[in-house]
Structure 1
Amino acid sequence: MHEVYFDKTYIYGVTNVDEGSDRNITVYDGLEQGNFPIADSRKLHTWTVQCELTEQKESKHNDQWTEARNLFKKFESALNTQGPKRLIITADYGKTSKQVLLESYTKAEKYKGVYDVTLKFMEYVEVGIRTEDVPYIPRPGKVPAPPKTVVFNGKDSTPYSVQSKYTNGMSISQFNQLKYTEPNTGKIFSNLCTIADGSKVALKPIPKNALEAALYGAKDILDAPKKWILSAAEAMANANDNYKKKWDEENKARIASLK
């Protein structure tokens, strides 16, 4: 024998209660290893309650009896409500008390004022949102130092004066590889003479090794002195060879007459 309460309302005339829950299991072929199952998550519990409701109270009914039409109104109201209701089912060997949603109800009038009714309920589980802070992961390596910012002065507009004042003895060939940028916009000043007095200018620091050079995108700065020396030596050698060749051609006849 079952006693059923739905949202504090007694459901009388219960003839049967079915409870169930299941889950999907998919079977895969293991490619010559035989079949194996993979189970999905368990589905929600369901309950099906069958009962006989009447419009007139009979001798078998107790004091909690309610007219069938009033219960139907309650079922309709539950179907129009998004929130869950409490379902309590007691039996000889156990008790169930769950938050449920009314999935459906059907009624069939056997004879005047007497209805066979089937109620279907589904377990309600409140959706929870889990919030966690994103863990901090330290950045590998050394954070590059920001470009040095200096206040530009027209008196320091020559490479020699700016080089000696702001770049700690950097060679002119290295200094000429630097880019002068506006700190906020990153605009490159290609000509020092176009920079107004009092402007803040960012000087990209010279890297100390190949790693820093790669980080600053200025690897050519490391090779600038070497390239400058090689270019100068090559130019001097070519000039000497050209002068000697020209002198020999111009004085070839005079040298021959002296022999």
Structure 2
Amino acid sequence: MGNYKVYLGNLTIYQVSAVDSDAKRDLAVYDGVEQGKFPVAKNPDLHTWTVSCELTANRINVDGWEPAQDIFKELDKMMQSKDPDRLVMVGDCGKVSELVLVKGYSQTEKYEGVYSVKLQLTQYKEASVRTQDVPYIPRPGKVPEMPKEVVFKSTADVAQALMPKWSDYTPVGGNNSPKEGSAISAYRMTFTDGQGNFYTNPNTIPIGKTIYNITSNGYVPGMTKREYEASKRSPSLGNDKTRMQREHHVEVEAKRTQETFNAMSKAIEEYRVTQKVPISR
């Protein structure tokens, strides 16, 4: 037998042969863009113990002896109760004093009047709600404003809104070049549907759907509309999530550069045709 003294509530658990203890937590592993993998620790799981012992129906010469059947009845009562009991253990590896709940137990009668028993115990933590006022923590930097909602009814509307007006171009050496201070062209504008999807290519902008122009504000790529609004109140909301999405967004945008330039040319041509704008010679 191992050198253990185990007490659970008013019970003395005698003839303990082994105590298995389990403490762990999950780690979420993310893959940073060109930075390798990195872990993010989750909250630790509740501590658990499995106590193996041998209980008897007939008296034996051990401290705190009780008939096995009386101990089983008391364990059944503990399992019916939602209140925790105090677990105290003293062994070769130290001392433990914790509030626990009895998750379950198993018994096997090895021979008449002698039972091999395993107790499964789980650490108890009381759930609580904080009622104090939460101190205000100022958000560093400028608090972003919600971007303007936009609904494009047709591809012509997209071209008219995103592309510089034809009058903003002045013939120079037989080619059209933009005047100083002309409108921002489509490839430099970014829209989102508020669900983590972004649009910089005029050909991919949805028609008849509400989207948001986020070209010139502090919107964090990957945020939903709810997360974005909540970020004004909680500066840390979504930081772990959105950082990865922001890095992914940058990588995707780099790959789409050539596609976007081609789309610009197509959108300008469509605008010229629909608006019947003559080609300058």
> TM-score when scaled to structure 2?
0.46
TM-score (norm 1): 0.49
